[in-house]
Structure 1
Amino acid sequence: GFLGIEIHEVTEAEADQTGAEVGEGAYVSKVLAGMPAAEAGLRPGDVVLRVGDTPVHEPDDLIQIVQAAPVGEKVVLTVLRDGERRKIAVEVGRRPSPEALLASAEGGRWWRGMRVVPLSDELREQTGLEAGRQGVFVREVRDGSPAAAAEIVPGMVIDQVGPTKIASVREFAAATAEGKGPVFVHVAGAGIKIIKAPEKDAPDPGGSGENKDRPGGKGAGKKPDDKLKGGSRD
Structure 2
Amino acid sequence: MRTKFIAVLALTGLLTLGGSAQANIPFFSDKDETPTLAPMLEEVTPAVVNISVKGSREVRQRIPDMFRFFFGPNGPREQVQERPFRGLGSGVIIDAENGYVVTNNHVIDGASEILVTLKDGEQYDAEVIGTDANSDIALLKIKNGKDLTEIEIGRSADLRVGDFVVAIGNPFGLGQTVTSGIVSALGRSGLGIEEIENFIQTDAAINSGNSGGALVTLDGKLVGINTAILGPNGGNIGIGFAIPSDMMEALVQQLIEFGEVRRGVLGVRGNDLTPDIAKALNLDANQGAFIAEVVPDSAAAEAGLQSGDVITAVNGEKIRSFADLSARVKTLGVGKPFDITVLRDGDKRTFEVTLSADETAVEAEQLHPALQGATLAPSDGGGITITELEEGSMAARYGLRKDDVIVAVNRKPVNSVSELRSALDSAEGVVALNIRRGNSSLYLVLRGG
Q: TM-score by structure 1 length?
A: 0.42
Larger RCO (CA within 8 A; separation ≥ 6):
1
Q: TM-score by structure 2 length?
A: 0.23
Please say which structure displays the higher CA radius of gyration.
2
| Structure ranking higher in strand proportion | 2
